[in-house]
Structure 1
Amino acid sequence: MEEEKPSLVTRITRYIPTVKRPSYRQSLNTRLKWTGLVLIAYLALSYIPVYGVEPSTYEQFRYIELILGSRFGSLMTLGISPIVTAGIILQLLVGSKILNWDTTKEEDRKKFQTWNKFLSVVFCFITAAVYVFGGALLVLGPLSMKIIVLLQLAAGGLMVILLDDLVSKWGIGSGVSLFIAAGVATQILIRLFSPLPATCKPFQFSTCMPSVGNAPVGLVWQFFLNALIGNRSLMLQTLLPILFTALVFLIVVYIQDIAIEIPLSFTALRGFGRTWPLKLLYTSNIPVILAGALIANFQLLGRFGLTPQNGLQCGMLGCYDANGNPVSGAVFYLSTPSNFLLQLISTGVTSADWIRVAIHIALFAILCTIFSVFWVSTSGMDAKSVAEQIEAIGMQIPGYRRDAKSMEAVLSKYIQPLAFLGGLFVGLLAAFADITGTIGSGTGILLAVMIIYQYYEQLSMENLEEAHPLIRKLIGE
């Protein structure tokens, strides 16, 4: 019988650079070292400007930067966008059975991974082209200069793919999660504690002196400054984001431990057993990453082909003001209402703002629920895969027959409802965090806390005897 010839995509992916898996088990310290080196490389690359791009603050893209782990104007402009966009497309195609792949089978799982890698590389160039020719980046010069900028952005995207691959194989966790957490944590620290005003420019010390009319960026310093001058209204406006950030942090940490414990017993050893936890947030932060990335990509699409109209920049999806903020059309109603609570308290809101909030809540809840259900069926977290894992380690559910089918029937009663409820809950929580104006965006702080907690859980399950004493203290050993 002739072997099936590899597809064109499979042959192409063989020439795409990849990171080989280690041939032996790495110690915890070694994996932490690789994770740290990748993080340093990512942060360093995010401060290398792209040649040919005009300097700008890119404040209108702050939400996109947080969700996609990017930094506009640098080599990390694309961030994780190509990886996540490729994942979204494949999740939808496989989850809706347009691509009839069973990812519990080795052959179909390899197809999924091959196509995911191929599409990630393709989207490096597609997304870079949209940024350059859509006007997201200020490129002054002829077509040749735009092509040079496009190639630099695509190269940065390829670096992110390799760094993500390196973390997945040699480090701890995934590069996607690491880059998001790093970006959000940086923004939170700056937004909380930076004593410098927004007008501060390098080597111009007069612009870096904070005052009443030129307040520091850090909310903590703003609070004390407003307290000194007795402005209670501004004190409240600076205090609310801090309080809601702390509230979201506590909620996320609390719900991480809510789980259904499935009792298990060893088939060969009577009297010995353990439990298999099925968490309320069964798919963790994956639905929020995918939903946030999808909305961020839509916002970028809305900036493509803008033309000036009555003092606004307008396109087929809506108009933007001089500061790049959406003011009408689909882009307005699908944008994140991050300052809604402060506007409600201080200046009031319009009916359009209430509609935007309702759409934001509904959209996040629906998208997160859909992605959560699809992720279970395509990532090996469905009842069948979990039952096979339990059977492989020689365990069973007490009171049921010793076969995977019986365990699958029991697990399916919990896993599908948890996938639905977990996705719905995390979507509503992300929308709530966005509306209340938490620091680093609501979705960003939610992702950062969940990612850091995941790292804590992963480290707590490792053999900490070989870890650095500081790591053992952080974990509480």
Structure 2
Amino acid sequence: MISAFTNIFKIPELRQRVLFTLAMIIIIRAGSAITTPGVNAEVLRQWFEHAGSNPAGGIAALFNLFSGGSLAHCAIFSLGVMPYISASIMLQLLTAVIPQLGKLSREDGGRRKIMQYTRYATIVLCVFQGFLLAKSLENPQANPFLPGIVDTMNRLGMALVPVPGWQFQVITILTLTAGTMFLMWLGDQITERGIGNGVSLIITVGILAQLPAGLVFAWRTFVPSGAAQQANVSPIVLVLLCLFLVFVIASVIAVTQAQRKISIQYAKRVVGRKVYGGQTQYMPLKVNYAGVMPIIFAQAILLFPSTIINMAFPQNPTAQWLANMLAVGWLHYVLFGAMIFFFSYFWVATQFQPVQIADDLKKYGGFIPGVRPGKPTADFLDFTMSRLTFAGAIFLTIIAVLPQLLSQWLRVPYMTAQFFGGTGVLIIVGVVLDTMRQIETHLLQRHYDGFLRKGKIRGARDSRPRMGSGQVLDDSKLVLIYAAIGVLVIAGITISIAFRR
């Protein structure tokens, strides 16, 4: 595996793709630290430092996790790429429900048209979410997701938005919308000229960027800062948590890669003097077919009842008890698990089409051994996928509940507990595996050893190809570009430290 990493820089095209991706990541992280005009980012930063260590600010901490820390600075990338992800999910579901969109997706150029609709929907969502965020920043005391923000403002003697008004709202909406669209463009550039899926890499880098903050919260919890203070949790628990983290990551990788291989055999056909078919192939059915979508849907829907009850009945003890049960109580876990099961089957029902697969197999002369073509094949695939989805839903439920249980029972900081499960770990594992798979494909195509497989001819090198539709730059020019980016990053960090002092 070590030789595979060294071989990456021996292939000119792959080296350029990796360096280009790293340069784009630096730009993305720089934009996550540029504060939106008119907002006092110090108030939010101070509040997140206190809210990240307890479940009270768990929802805001979760949003901050997916924005890569941009929300804590109220940066221009605060919305991240989540509006684009939400628009893509909406269009995917509408494609499965509306026949006209389904027909359009199967036509030539139809996918490009649907992608255009997705971008328009993204702009609408950005404007709507930007307006809500601007109103929330103007009146933070009315936001149920920012408990204690007023105390932070009083302690610092600062207002979150010194000059509220419609000018601030318009500037915030334009800034956040432009930030999200710029992130989408960067994601497209990474996909075309870099390595891996651009949008997925942006989300993954944002989650990993919060890992140092999670480690800081864990250090403050497990290691006392003074001689008179005592750690809240035993050091033995810390060792067990480290071992448990390795086990969780290994389990997520195993289940993410797990699949059921359905044997498909094709009948022999004679066309002229050539014989086609007769070979056996496999149809892989993934255990976790829905990915992280059921957890995202369940979290989004379960937010509303407790929020509405808190806002509608702020002084009613019964209503507050019910809101707490929906937020962190046993009722929350029951509904959370039930919704994950429901959306797991719902996603499979909308995306996996056994009837269409059976018709395609019958059209091209393929069949499953022991199963008759047509409707029996569709019933077999549907039954098999239902059992696999049940196992995947149980796995998703355990992974989704783990961070909350660790935060409540073992008093692990919520920011730290997010890396023991939930959507973050699933996204990181899936994106890292996909990126490594693409790098391995480049290595094997040029006869180098991959991460798990070996190439046929070691050391063989191809002529230098072109990257995308543009021309390949010389190595000297690339070195100058990346050196300039490195100098800018170092200068920015130095200036930031100097101003903080």
Q: Same fold (TM over 0.5)?
A: yes
1:127 equivalent in alignment to 2:129 = yes
Contact 1:261–1:278 under 8 Å retained in 2 = yes
Cα distance in 1, alignment partners of residues 359 and 31 from structure 2: 42
8 Å CA contact retained: 1:287, 1:372 = yes
Partner of 2:289: 282
Superposed CA offset, 1:107-143 (max 9, x none): 5866754443322110001001001112387322142
Task: Identify if the C-alpha distance between structure 1 residues 388 and 85 changes in structure 2 by more than 3 Å, giving closer, same or farther.
Answer: same
Pairing 1:420-459 to 2, within 5 Å after superposition = 420-437=390-407, 439=416, 441=418, 442-452=421-431, 454-455=433-434, 458-459=437-438
Report what 1:4 is aligned to.
none
Native 8 Å contact 2:188 2:199 kept in 1: no
Q: 1:397 aligns with which of 337, 343, 368?
A: 368
Matched, 1:252 2:252: yes
Q: CA deviation at 1:409?
A: 4.0
Using the TM superposition, give the Cα deviation of residue 37 of structure 1 relative to its aligned residue in structure 2, in angstroms.
Answer: 4.1
Matches within 5 A, 1:220-259: 222-223=222-223, 233-236=233-236, 238-239=238-239, 241-259=241-259
Distance 2:127 2:233 in 1: 48
Displacement of 1:182? 1.6
State the match for 1:83 in structure 2.
Answer: 84
Q: Which runs of 5+ in 2 are unaligned?
A: 1-11, 49-56, 141-159, 269-275, 455-501
Is the counterpart of residue 410 in structure 1 residue 385 in structure 2? Answer: no
Q: Deviations over 1:58-94 (max 9, x none)?
A: 5232111224556211111101231233345446656
The farther-off stretch of 226-235 and 266-275 is 226-235
Aligned match for 1:273, one of 270, 273, 280: 280
Within the candidate set 3, 24, 29, 1:43 is matched to 29
Is the contact between residue 204 and residue 431 of structure 2 (CA under 8 Å) also seen in structure 1? yes
Other structure's SS at 1:275 match: strand
For residues 457-468 of structure 1, the aligned pairs below 5 Å read 458-459=437-438, 462-465=441-444
- Which residue, out of 132, 141, 154, partners 2:163? 141
- Cα distance per residue 1:185-204 (max 9 Å; x no partner): 22224433x5xxxxxxxxxx
Q: Is the 8 A contact 1:68 1:293 kept in 2?
A: no
Matched to 2:334, the amino acid is A
Amino acid at match of 2:210: Q
Change over 3 Å in CA distance of 1:39–1:397 after alignment to 2: farther
1:181-240 per-position Cα deviation (integer Å, ceiling 9, x unaligned): 222222224433x5xxxxxxxxxxxxxxxxxxxxxx453994598999986944256456
1: distance between equivalents of 2:24 and 2:447?
19
Correspondence for 1:339: none
Q: Matched residues in 1 for 2:78 and 2:25: separation?
A: 16
Q: Which amino acid aligns with 1:443?
A: G
**Separation in structure 1 between the aligned mates of residue 196 and residue 358 of structure 2, nearest angstrom:** 24
Distance 1:31 1:290, change over 3 A: farther
Aligned positions of 1:53-452 closer than 5 A = 53-55=39-41, 56-57=44-45, 58-59=47-48, 60=57, 61-67=60-66, 69=68, 71-72=70-71, 73-90=74-91, 97=97, 101-102=101-102, 106-107=106-107, 112-135=114-137, 138-143=160-165, 144-192=167-215, 217=217, 219=219, 222-223=222-223, 233-236=233-236, 238-239=238-239, 241-268=241-268, 272-292=279-299, 298=304, 302=307, 315-316=311-312, 328=320, 332-335=324-327, 356-379=328-351, 381-387=352-358, 395-400=366-371, 407-437=377-407, 439=416, 441=418, 442-452=421-431
TM-score (norm 1): 0.65
Q: Supply the distance in 2 between the matched residues of 1:457 and 1:386 (Cα, whole angstroms).
A: 29
Deviations 1:396-426 (A, max 9, x none): 423456x676643432222244345424531
Q: Over aligned residue pairs, what C-alpha RMSD do you find? A: 4.4
Change (3 A) 1:434 1:382: farther
**Matches of 1:117 and 1:424 in 2, distance apart?**
34
Instruction: Please tell me whether the aligned partners of residues 38 and 162 of structure 2 are also in contact (alpha carbons under 8 angstroms).
Output: yes
Aligned counterparts of 2:19 and 2:240: Cα–Cα separation in 1? 38
2:65 maps to a residue whose letter is: L
* More off after superposition, 427-436 vs 44-53: 427-436
- The code of the aligned residue for 2:81 comes to I
The more displaced of 228-237 and 36-45 is 228-237
CA distance in 2, matches of 1:407, 1:32: 44
Paired amino acid for 2:131: A
The alpha-carbon distance between structure 1 residues 113 and 372, as it changes in their structure 2 partners (threshold 3 A), is farther
Deviates more, 1:148-157 or 1:270-279: 270-279
Classify 1:427/1:163 alpha carbon distance in 2 versus 1 (closer, same or farther; 3 Å): farther
Asked whether the 8 Å contact 2:77–2:179 carries over to 1, the reply is: yes
The structural deviation recorded for 1:157 is 1.8
Aligned residue type for 2:29:
L
Shift of 1:435: 1.7
Paired residue secondary structure (2:260): strand
What TM-score do you get using the length of structure 2 for normalisation?
A: 0.63
Q: 1:357 to 1:331 in 2, by over 3 A?
A: closer
Q: How many residue pairs end up in the alignment?
A: 386
Q: Partners in 1 of 2:355 and 2:13 — Cα distance?
A: 32
Contact 1:103/1:378 (8 A) holds in 2: no
Alpha carbons 1:70, 1:80 under 8 Å: kept: no
| Conservation of the 8 A alpha-carbon contact between 1:50 and 1:74 | yes
Bigger Rg over Cα: 2
Relative to structure 1, the CA distance from residue 173 to residue 357 in structure 2 (aligned partners, 3 Å threshold; closer, same or farther) is farther
For residue 62 of structure 2, give the secondary structure of its aligned residue in structure 1: helix
Residues 415 and 233 (structure 1), Cα distance of their counterparts in 2 relative to 1, 3 Å cut: closer
